[in-house]
Amino acid sequence: MLNFSKSVPIQRNKLIYTLDGLRVSTFSANFHFGVKYSFKLFTFKHLEKVFRWLGFEVVAHRNKTAAEMKNLLKDVGKTVDGDCFVCCILSHGLKEGVYGTDGAVISVDEIREPFNGNNCQRLVGKPKMFFIQACRGKRNQDHVLVQADSSEDGESEMEVDGDDFDITIPADTDFLIARSATDGHLSYRRPEEGSWFIQSLCRNLEQHCPL
């Protein structure tokens, strides 16, 4: 049984989440339409281990067509409970989105839309995170040298004129979408361990999430 809790305001323009009921859905695929995605069981097991350690209920879906992924995501959006939702997708991809096993494509908008405030009232004001391991093109990314700059923290205040107005939040609020490649570029995996992106995600969650 998953419990609910409300987001708690602590300061003006600042918000924290209290997370009692958590769920993660993972999608992975071995492809049937020409090129095979050499999905590494180690990658999935690492994801599963880390999110279970963080207190999530983990539900896995494998080898789904684009239409099946769309339908599954819509079903999850209608039934999901809890205070946080995470979706991890490991697949081939291109600029327009992520491949299903049939070669059809599901866009990122189609992935997140079932969980916006209009379609998923249960997750309004709650974090929704999407981690997508997939190429977004065929180019290698360029390399540049960088120098660290120090920045000063600052806060901005927003004032609203008028006494009679409705307090609302955007339907697409509280989303985090992290992708393994920038637009037009390739995504990489180690032959033995799988996705660099997913392995780095798991390591950082293990190292930096206090329990």
Catalytic residue among 87, 88, 120, 135: 135
Give the 3-state secondary structure of 103-169.
CCEECHHHHHHHHCCCCCHHHCCCCEEEEEECCCEEECCCCCCCCCCCCCCCCCCCCCCCCCCCCCC
- Active-site annotation holds for 135: yes
Per the CB < 8 A criterion, the answer to whether 88 and 202 are in contact is no
Residue 192 has a CB neighbour count (10 Å cut-off) of 7
- Active-site annotation holds for 143: no
Catalytic residue among 88, 92, 120, 202: 92
Catalytic positions: 92, 135
